[in-house]
Amino acid sequence: MVSVNPYFISDLLSPITGLADDDEAVEKYRDIDTSVDNHYREIIRLEIKTYYDCLSNENKEKVKGALNYYLSTSEIDFERVFESCLPPFDPPKDARNFFIWVWEELFEGENYKITNKAEYVINSDVNEPNRPS
């Protein structure tokens, strides 16, 4: 069994969480074109991948498992996850795409689709990972 926790999906957005209230950050990302995936991919590479790279190997596996599961199912509202983090820019037209791009940037060449959903169990205990300093 693979245990997944939806917490790790929103935690991955930590570097941009709450920046909707930061005028400097809003100005920095003001020119994001919500129809151009490369604008989002650049933010993912600069902010989210950098954060991910600082996580422990255990937490990297938890993030990967959560992304793997939730991208393969319809059991999470990606727009709600994205918006709840209050980032300094709007989501793409389909917020799920943002998380697909995160997967592609973090796990280049790997397929996120799972073949046997029954192998996964949702664990909603919020044991926050050790955050990088």
Backbone φ, ψ for residue 10 (5° rounding): -75, -35
Residue entry with tokens 């990297």 = 60
**In angstroms, rounded to a whole number, what is the distance separating the alpha carbons of residues 10 and 129?**
12
| Structural domain includes residue 13 | yes
| Structural domain includes residue 45 | no
Report residue 114 as tokens: 């799972």
Q: What is the pLDDT of residue 127?
A: 55
Cβ contact 120:64 at 8 Å: no
- Distance between first and last Cα of the chain: 31
pLDDT tens-digit map of 43-95: 999 999 999 999 999 999 999 999 999 999 989 999 999 999 999 999 999 99
| Structural domain includes residue 114 | yes
Q: What is the pLDDT of residue 133?
A: 40
Report residue 34 as tokens: 């919500």
Q: What is the pLDDT of residue 126?
A: 60
| Structural domain includes residue 65 | yes
**In angstroms, rounded to a whole number, what is the distance separating the alpha carbons of residues 67 and 89?**
21
Is residue 129 scored above 80 in pLDDT? Answer: no
| Structural domain includes residue 44 | no
| Structural domain includes residue 107 | yes
Residue among 14, 32, 27 nearest 86 (CA) = 14
| Structural domain includes residue 36 | no
Query: What's the total number of domains in the chain?
Result: 1
| Structural domain includes residue 82 | yes
Average pLDDT, the chain: 91
Residue span of the structural domain in which 64 resides:
2-30+58-122
